[in-house]
Amino acid sequence: MGAAATADEDLARGEYLARIMDCSGCHTSGALRGLPDFSRNLGGADISIATPLGKFFGTNLTPEPETGLGCWTIDDIVAALSDENTHVLALYLKSLPPVSTPPLGPYGLDEPVPTPYLAPVLPE
């Protein structure tokens, strides 16, 4: 098997992992409203999730250099994720079209957020 075939297989496996882990569910604009904008796939969320630690937005995972992972190497991404599948996931993320999305938040529990947000209710 040639290097190109292996690279293509690794890229396909990375895309598969991103899909089954539903990365777009938190990191794609509109996804938390049920209307994901796949033209901005993994380019960052526009709705935050409220947690006991504050309200957080899914960040931009595309290789856009200013607001995404563009300045990160594959090894940087792997080190941040530390899983045997991270290399192919990082390879896939670096293959995405760049999307510019200024980072939002995080916001404290009592701070106003300029967008809608999800507030999960934990069982008692």
Q: Read out DSSP for 64-124?
A: -TTTSSTT--HHHHHHHH-STTHHHHHHHHHHSPP--------B-TTS--SS-EE-PPPP-
Hey, where are the domains in the chain? Answer: 3-112
pLDDT under 70: residue ranges of the chain:
1, 82-84, 121-123
